[in-house]
Amino acid sequence: MQRAGAVRLAVLGLVLACAPAEAAGDRALGEYLSSECTSCHQTSGRQVGGIPAIIGHPAEQFVALMNAYRERQRDNQVMQTIAARLSSEEIAALAAYYESLKPNP
């Protein structure tokens, strides 16, 4: 019984050790996917009109916002449509890419 608990604990540790790399998202994929985003969002990192800046946006917040659009909890038909087409992996990749960029002063 004690051995089974130790094995479970070791497996859990392995899963947790691997999770951050997976959750971080693929920056290269995010850069590839970003062309649709830049048609509205400024690459300078500045907010223009009602369109918010996304460059330098924290990845966790970016993912949460995109999921809220995907689940229609946030009201914006354009963003709802875009988010609905993206997989969770693609959203994580975009989040990693935009978080890695720094706004121009």
Rounded-to-integer distance, Cα 34 and Cα 73, Å: 23
| 16 or 72, greater pLDDT | 72
> How much is the pLDDT for 20?
44
What dihedral angle (degrees, nearest 10) is formed by the CA atoms of 74, 78, 79, 83? 120
Convert the pLDDT of each residue in 48-86 to its tens digit: 888 999 999 999 999 999 999 999 999 999 999 999 999
Per-residue model confidence (pLDDT) at position 3 = 56
Q: Whole-model pTM? A: 0.74
Predicted pLDDT of residue 105: 65
CA distance linking residue 88 with residue 85, whole number of Å: 10
Q: Is residue 17 over pLDDT 50?
A: no
pLDDT at 92: 98
